C-alpha cells in the first residue's frame, strides 16, 4: 500500500465514523484535527483514533488500552494486528463499554 492509499483509507474511515455519529443521534461529540479524531462521550470519557503514517497503521486509544490496526485486503478493512479483530467491532465494543453507545459502520 502506498502512502497515498494509506491516507485515503484512514480518511475514509474517519469520515465514516463522523457520518455515523451524525446520523445516529448518539450523544457523542467529535473533533477531527491533524489526523486525530477525538470522540467525547456523554460521561466525559474519550476515545482517540489516529493515523501512524510511518508504520501505516490506524491506532485506537480507549479506556481499556491502545490497539493497532493494519489494512487487510482480504478483510477489505482495518484489522487489529494482535488478533485480526475488525476495527469497527473493537470501536463499537469500546463505545458500548465506555458510554453505552454503538455506531452503524459498514
The pTM assigned to this predicted structure is: 0.89
Q: pLDDT averaged over the chain?
A: 91
Asked if 82 and 75 touch (Cβ cutoff 8 Å), the reply is: no
Average pLDDT over residues 84-97: 92
Mean pLDDT lowest among 3-7, 16-20, 25-29, 49-53? 25-29
Angular region, 69: left φ>0, alpha ψ -120 to 50, beta rest: beta
Average pLDDT over residues 61-83: 95
Fold of 3-99: Metal Transport, Frataxin; Chain A (3.30.920)
- Judge whether residue 25 has pLDDT over 60: yes
Alpha-carbon distance of 12 to 62, in angstroms, equals 21
Residue 106 pLDDT: 53
User: Which distant-in-sequence residues (6+ apart) come within 8 Å of 21 by Cβ?
Assistant: 28, 30, 39, 103
User: Is residue 13 very low, low, confident or very high in pLDDT (cuts 50, 70, 90)?
Assistant: very high
Q: State the cell numbers at 28.
A: 457523542
Alpha-carbon distance of 57 to 78, in angstroms, equals 9
User: Which distant-in-sequence residues (6+ apart) come within 8 Å of 10 by Cβ?
Assistant: 35, 51, 58
- Judge whether residue 37 has pLDDT over 90: yes
Amino acid at each position: 500500500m502506498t502512502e497515498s492509499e494509506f491516507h485515503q483509507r484512514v480518511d475514509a474511515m474517519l469520515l465514516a465514523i463522523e457520518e455515523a455519529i451524525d446520523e445516529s443521534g448518539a450523544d457523542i461529540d467529535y473533533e477531527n484535527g491533524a489526523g486525530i479524531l477525538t470522540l467525547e462521550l456523554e460521561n466525559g470519557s474519550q476515545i482517540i483514533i489516529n493515523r501512524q503514517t510511518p508504520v501505516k497503521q490506524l491506532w485506537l486509544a480507549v479506556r481499556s488500552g491502545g490497539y493497532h490496526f493494519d489494512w487487510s485486503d482480504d478483510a477489505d478493512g482495518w484489522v487489529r494486528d494482535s488478533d485480526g479483530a475488525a476495527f469497527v467491532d473493537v470501536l463499537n465494543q469500546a463505545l458500548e463499554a465506555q458510554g453505552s453507545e454503538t455506531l452503524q459502520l459498514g
